[in-house]
Each structure stands twice: as C-alpha cells, then as structure tokens.
Structure 1
Amino acid sequence: MTTASSPRRPAPVAANPELLRLLGRTPMIRVHTRLPHAHPGFWAKLEGLGAGGMKARAAVSILRGARLRGELLPGAPVIESTSGTLGIGLAFAGQALGHPVVLVGDAELEASMRQLLRAYGAELELVDRPAPRGGWQAARLARLHTLRRSLPGAYWPDQYNNPDNAAGYHRMAAEIVERLDHLDVLVCSVGTGGHSAGLLGPLRRRWPRLEVIGVDSVGSAIFGQPARPRLMRGLGSSIHPRNVAHPSFDEVHWVGPAEAVDACRRLARDTFVSGGWSTGAVALVSAWAARAEPGRVVATVFPDGPHRYLDTVYGDTFRRAHGLDTATPATRPSEIPHPHAVEATGWTRCRTVIAPGNATPARCAAGRPDPAAPAPARDGVQ
C-alpha cells in the first residue's frame, strides 16, 4: 500500500557541476556542553553545515562510481529507499550530476522533509504500513523493487550494501586529519554503516591505536540485538547492512530516545549547535568517553542539523505523546557482557561486538576481562 501512485518517467535534469564545489569541508568545533555531566570536551564535525548534509558525500560517490562502471547511464533516473537524510544527499547529487531522483519513504517521514525533498525536485513515493518482518525498511525496499520494474534503466544505489557509500567519506577522514594533531577515540553513529566504514580505514592508518565506539539505536538489529519498532530515525536498522565493518568497532552503545532528546536540547541551549537523533546519541557517548579517561582526544560527527526535527526531538507535543517529557534519561550506560544477554531499552554499553546472526565476537576490547562476565565500571565514569 502507498499514499502515492506509481511515478511517471521523471523529467530530465540538467547537470550543475558547480554544486560539487560546495561538497564537504565542514568545520569542527570543541563541545563542552554538560551531557548531562561535565566533561573535558570532544571534537564534533558539523556535517549539517555542508550542502546536502553528510550523506551528500556518499550520494556523489555512489553515483560517480556507478557512472564509471556503466551502471548509471547519462540522465538516467536514480531510485532509492530513504528515511530522509540520504534523500537530501541524492537530491543534491542528482542536480549536480544531471539525474532525476525517485525516493521511496514511509508514513513516518516528517512533513517538512517531504516538502523539502519535493522542493529539491525529487519524486517521492510513500509506503503507509511497515512490513511484518523488517518494518519500514523492508516495506520501502519492496515498493522500490516494484517501482524499478516501471522505470527501465533506473539505477538503485543500494546504500546499505554499496561500497561506494563508504568511499564517499574518505575525504571527510582527510579533513579530520588536517584539523587534529592526534585522535584517541572516534565515536560513530551506525545506520547504513557508510560513514563509519569510510572513516575507519584512513583514520586507523594515521592513528593505528585509534579506539572506535559504535552508537546504535535501541531496537536496532545491527549489533545483534532484536529488531523492534524504533522511535529514533537516522541510525539503527531492522536489516543487516553489509557496509557495517563489525570487526572495526571496539565497543557499541545503544542509546534510547529519552537520552538522545535530552542531549540534543542541551546542545541547542548551550552550544547553539545541535541536530537530530544521531547527533544527540553520539554527543552523549562522546562526552562519556571524554570523561571516562581525561586526556584522551575524542571526536565524532554530527550528521545533520536540527531543522527536520523541530516537530519531534524539539517538539513538546511529540515528547508528551511518546512519554519523553516524563522519562528520566540515563546519566550513565548500563553494561552487558554480550549483545544477546539482555535487550537494551535505554543507554547500554557492550564491549563485545558481534556480526548479525553470529554469537561469536567480531571484536572484543583489547585488554578487557572475559566478555562473558560483566566488566566493572571504570572509576569516575558517569
């Protein structure tokens, strides 16, 4: 079922390669906002200040790669499933490279995001109910495959499994290296797995002992937890993206909506720099990592700005409707020994990282106790 009819063949789009000059080169700032406790500070790369947002980097990389391989012909349409952020990036890339864009979203896509995507020239299809297995993502993908049959020659980027997704973030890694003399800890939100996979290789070549913390949403299946309906958008997944480099992560934190909203609002009020669910989640974990071992240099990426979240993360009506106005956000993570041990319902930390469908660790934090036994919290960790 959809709320829109099958699209006609999209109108041609004239390429505007000058737009590519706007890609990337986003600033980094030092964040000291209490989240919720005081901490020494961490670095944040502000991708929301880049044209097309963070995923414009991936979108341009994916379309360029497909063109080089002959998979995407000049002027051919591009069709993809999105919860919103990649849609903006593809709209940017489509205009820059001359490809009409058809996006499959769902009924939970914010009205403001629908309007923005259409304003940027994208055709938008919406599914109106989640699939029994795989939720909204599976429903969007099913609709996408139906639409592809009505659009001969259309290219599907398959963002969850396309290696050009990760390659789009190599330039971001170079920008981080140019800005920082040293880096001890990188905190990455994980959804498709693109930006974390794209950053880790270059950054670990520069700093071989770099520790990497993955940040996921409660209810996400990426790191071995059961898939559940998720209030948070933009991170987490009900499916298993192949782009996620599980062995590269030293630990994973699952963050709940109450913690993410609290962090976003604190950032907006005290730093004037904030964003959506992913930004709140990585800010919370970055502050925790900086506080856990003072002296370590911690950095993260804020994927977007606050504007699409005015009626959700920053909306009092939304908070009341979902019980977030009365929820007490966790001030420190609970810790579990293995992703299969306990289902995370709020901020939870695990130092055993597993690939989906596998009970064997892909990675355990070096020098840690037996991951089968709960590890003691470090002194001073909040």
Structure 2
Amino acid sequence: MNTFDVPAPLCPPAGLLSSPGRPAATPAQLVGDTPVLWVGEPFAAAGRGFWAKLEGHNPGGIKDRTALYMVRSARERGVLLPGARIVESTSGTLGLGLALAGTVFGHPISVVTDPGMEPMMGGLLTAHGAMVHTVSAPHPAGGWQQARREKVKELLARYPEAWCPDQYNNPDNVAAYRPLAHELIAQLGRIDALVVSVGTGGHSAGIASVLREHFPHLRVVGVDTCGSTIFGQPATTRLMRGLGSSIYPRNVAYHLFDEVHWVSAPEAVWAARTLARAHYATGGWSVGAVALVARWLARTSPAEERIVTVFPDGPQRYTGTVFDDAYCTAHQLLGHLPANGPDEITHPGEATVTRWTRCTSVTAPLGHEPAVPGRPAGARRLAEVAS
C-alpha cells in the first residue's frame, strides 16, 4: 500500500475562508470553492511535492467559472440579449460551462468543435442541451482551431441575435479567475510558485496576476504542448486538447511568465495515468502536463517552497483517449517514461521541440496584441486574431 508524506495542516488567513458545503439554490452556486490536494510520494520525490487545485470538482470543470462570468457580464452590458443564442468554439470544457450558463440564464447554446474532441464530450454537451457543430477539415494556416472559428462566424451570420464570448480575446475570461486565486490564498496562505497550463490564456493570466500582487516574488511557470504556437514554436499537428493553440490568443499575459515548458502527448499520458494509480486525483492532457512539470519543480526547488498547480478537470471525459489502452496504443502513447528533467533551449526559435523542453526566455510573439482590461469583447462577431 502507498504511504503519503502530507505536510501539516495550513492555517489560512482569517476571514478568507468560505463556508463549505453550503446548499445550492441553482447549479451556478456549485461552482467554486474547490479543494486542494497534496501530491507527494509516490508521484513526487521523497519529502517533496506540490498542491493541486482540483477544478474537476466544479460541475463541468474549470471553465464553468469563465462561462458564467462572461455570460453574466455580457448580459449586464446589454450585448447579450435575453434568450439570444450563444455561439462559441471549444474543444469541450468551455462547452460544458456554456451549457451550464445557458441553463442558468436561459440561452440556447451552439458549440463548434472538431473530430479530435473526446467522444464522451459530444454526448455530454448534447445531453445538457447544447447544439454541437463539428468542422470537417482544418484551416490551411490556423489548423482545426481556426477552422472552428470560421464556422462560428458562419453561425453568427445565420442567427442575427447571437453572441460569441470569444474566449481567446475577451478580458472577462481573465477576470473570471480572480476568485480562484483568492481561494488559493485562503487555502494555502503563501504560494512561491504557480505551474499553470496555457490555452486561451484566461486562467493563467487571471490567477497569476492576483497571486503576483500578493506574492511579488512568485515564480510563474507556463505549460504548453509541443506543436503549439503560443510561445513562439511553429504550429504542427497536436493530439493534446485543452492547452496549446495554433493562433495567438490576446488573453495570454506573457509578461507574467518566468519560464515555459512544452510537454508531449506521451509524457502527459504517463503523468496522468501515474497520478490516477498513486493519488486517485487525475485528469486529462492538461493535468498530466502540469503535474509532470510541478513534479520536477518540487524536486529541484528548495524543500520549503510552496508550489501549486491547477488541475482543470477530472478524468471522466478522457476514458476514450488518455485512459483507453487501444487509443493510446494506436497513437503510440504508452511505454514512454519521461526524462528526469526537461531539455533546455535559450529562446523559443532555437529548435522545434518534440519532447519535454524548458525555456526561461518568454516574450510575446510578433503580431500579439494584448487584450485590454475594461474593454471586454462586446461585439457579437469574433475579433480578428493573427493566425
């Protein structure tokens, strides 16, 4: 039987704790106040470990937070009319969040995805009342992501009153995660390093900006996937979902990152499966990727440093991919034990990475225009994004 070396209970600052287990009058009240779990041995080295914020305890995952916030804000500003359709591109998790928001606020939901979405997710979205549109071919320059966005434009033209949250560029996507950061402060008291996956840029920017205000010396470690363009790598075919991008989301706050790690699909699968056996708490591609990096950071940092990462969702939707032996065998994802540490490059353009690699030079790519706080995306059509 595994044994776990768990640190002594923490004493959160007075007045910051929420009441646990409060009754919920609406499903929206089930979102937030998620637990943190100590991940030590046997996943981490002896005497080392990190804290994981388990966002899979939300009804649909971490993006329940931003879906509710973006929809509520758009209604308050009058750009989303009562009963109007909401249309968005998603690989799945935001779709579940929008289905939740549609139920709470009374909006029909149309989500645009591609054939790479996990099979279970399509069924869940349909069960929760969303209309699912699947694009059939990738965009020649922007891949599946840009193809989905082109389909969103088509649907917005079909439904004159429809509204698109535009999660890649909407500053409300960032603001939605400030409460999550405050929860972490209440739960942990002090945080020295944050390991966070990067896709649309919303939760990385929202959490890191608040934590940096409270802890000026916070080390922020971004985790991307091989084949993603976000941090200056060339776009290639990507198997992993939920992190990475083939466009430049304006919500990515490059100035907050001290370093970036790229992780490959086999490495993320190994970490996610190992977590499942060792700690019971696990998830999919993003969870595997951030856990691998947090594990390394815990081993190489001073023992007293408090490291936290965010697990965006749980394992349920990945039973047909990450946790399916036939799928993983077909994609050659099994039997790849990650190295003890990442490869190193001095700048993102030095080499095209295909396995776990670290870079401490983080700059915004050419053509990236940051989203402007206080000027949320209010138009019903998608903003133009460099592809």
TM-score range with shorter-chain normalisation? 0.7 to 0.9
Written as runs of structure 1 = structure 2, the 5 A alignment for 1:145-164 is 145-164=153-172
Shift of 1:126: 0.6
AA at the equivalent of 2:95: G
Identity of counterpart residues, as a percentage? 53
Match of residue 289 from structure 2:
281
**1:340 pairs with 349, 352, 357, which one?**
349
8 A contact 1:275–1:305 mirrored in 2: yes
The answer to whether residue 65 in structure 2 is matched with residue 57 in structure 1 is yes
Written as runs of structure 1 = structure 2, the 5 A alignment for 1:49-198 is 49-198=57-206
8 A contact 2:267–2:336 mirrored in 1: no
Residues of 2 paired with 1:164 and 1:285: CA distance?
28
Match of residue 385 from structure 2:
none
1:109-149 CA-partner distances (Å, limit 9, x unpaired): 12211000000000111101111111100110111101111
8 A contact 1:218–1:255 mirrored in 2: yes
1:331-377 CA-partner distances (Å, limit 9, x unpaired): 31000000000111000000000212289xxxxxxxxxxxxxxxxxx
Shift of 1:330: 2.7
1:137-193 CA-partner distances (Å, limit 9, x unpaired): 011011110111110110000000000001110110110011012110000100000
Residues of 2 paired with 1:324 and 1:221: CA distance?
22
AA at the equivalent of 2:261: H
The CA RMSD measured in Å over matched residues stands at 1.5
Shift of 1:94: 1.0
SS at structure 2 position matched to 1:240: coil
Match of residue 226 from structure 2:
218
Size of the alignment, in residue pairs? 344
Match of residue 13 from structure 1:
none
SS at structure 2 position matched to 1:354: coil
SS at structure 2 position matched to 1:352: coil
8 A contact 2:261–2:358 mirrored in 1: yes
8 A contact 1:127–1:140 mirrored in 2: yes
Residues of 2 paired with 1:91 and 1:62: CA distance?
13
Mean Cα deviation higher: 320-329 or 62-71: 320-329
AA at the equivalent of 1:96: V
Residues of 2 paired with 1:325 and 1:19: CA distance?
38
AA at the equivalent of 1:153: E
> Where has structure 1 moved over 6 Å in runs of 4 or more?
none
Q: Under a length normalisation based on structure 1, what TM-score does the superposition of the two structures give? A: 0.88
SS at structure 1 position matched to 2:362: strand
Written as runs of structure 1 = structure 2, the 5 A alignment for 1:39-54 is 40-54=48-62
**2:320 pairs with 311, 314, 325, which one?**
311
AA at the equivalent of 1:270: A
AA at the equivalent of 1:349: R
Mean Cα deviation higher: 327-336 or 61-70: 327-336
Structure 2, gaps ≥5 residues long: 1-23, 369-387
